[in-house]
Amino acid sequence: MTVMAKSPVAAFLAGLVNLFWHLGKVGLALCVLMFVVSPWIGTHDLKVDVKIPVALSLNATTHPVVARTPDVTDGTLGDLRGSLRFVPLKRGFIAGSAVVIAIAISLIMWVLYQLRAVFRTLKAGQPFVPENALRLRRIGWAVIIGETLRAVVALIENAYAANHFSVSSLTFVVRPDYNALTVIGGLIILVIAEVFRAGTRLDEEQSLTV
């Protein structure tokens, strides 16, 4: 187990987690700053542009997709996704965005906190403890909940774009963007956590076998 602690991969991952942890702290500080200065944004030439994800549908008659080779037929473009950059003039938008970003960073930092705790046990040469199984389970749920929250926020941003903007030949649509792969990733972590929990029990028994 102590060999694992000296592994360069483990050391690299621990360093990466620590780096993201500190970046998260900087991000949180910036969010607080953004929230504090939000009343002045939009006035005194202090303008901040934001970027939100959008879903679009294209008018197929005005934008036909024509085949260039004889081995395919003409096509249609659908389920377009992109990002919309604009300057919001309503002060509440910036403050709200700061809160949403702060919540997202907090969730990520909570996951990093769990990972740091796991790496501490790895460094101490005792990674097979029941607490690590619990930490892995928390991470799995955080991934699933985080993806759900992201999808909800993206849906709200889609609705905002559809209500506030229009563009010729394109229509902003409100469409859920739930990433099933991320959720499956979360489920995999939950399964690994259960395997780990069983492993810690076996390790505990093994350690008391003479």
Partner 1 sequence: MGIRVRLDYLLLDRQLTLTDLADRIGITIANLSILKTNKARAIRFSTLDALCRELQCQPGELLVWTPDEVEDGKAEA
Which residues bind to partner 1, rule: CB under 8 A? Answer: 205, 208-210
Q: How far is the CB of 178 from partner 1 (least distance, A)?
A: 46
Displacement of CA 27 from its chain's centroid (Å): 14
**Which residue type does 126 have?**
Q
Query: CB atoms < 10 A from the CB of 184, how many?
Result: 13
Indicate the burial class of 95 (C-beta count within 10 angstroms; 0-12, 13-18, 19 or more): middle
CA pair distance 119, 140, nearest whole angstrom: 17
Closer residue to partner 1 in complex, CB, 72/208: 208
In terms of CB distance, is 75 or 130 closer to partner 1? 130
Which is nearer to partner 1, 119 or 128 (by Cβ)?
Answer: 128
Q: Based on CB atoms, which residue is closest to partner 1, 66 or 210?
A: 210
Contact criterion met (CB below 8 Å) for 141 and 127? no
Q: Compute the C-alpha angle 139/146/18, nearest 5°.
A: 50
- Shortest spacing between CB 202 and partner 1, in angstroms: 11
- Report the C-alpha gap between 19 and 26 in whole angstroms: 11
- Nearest approach, Cβ of 204 to partner 1 (angstroms)? 8
The single-letter code of the amino acid at 53 is: P
Minimum distance between the CB of residue 203 and partner 1, rounded to whole angstroms?
Answer: 12
Q: Measured from the CB of residue 205, what is the shortest distance to partner 1 in angstroms?
A: 5
Q: Between 71 and 205, whose beta carbon lies closer to partner 1? A: 205
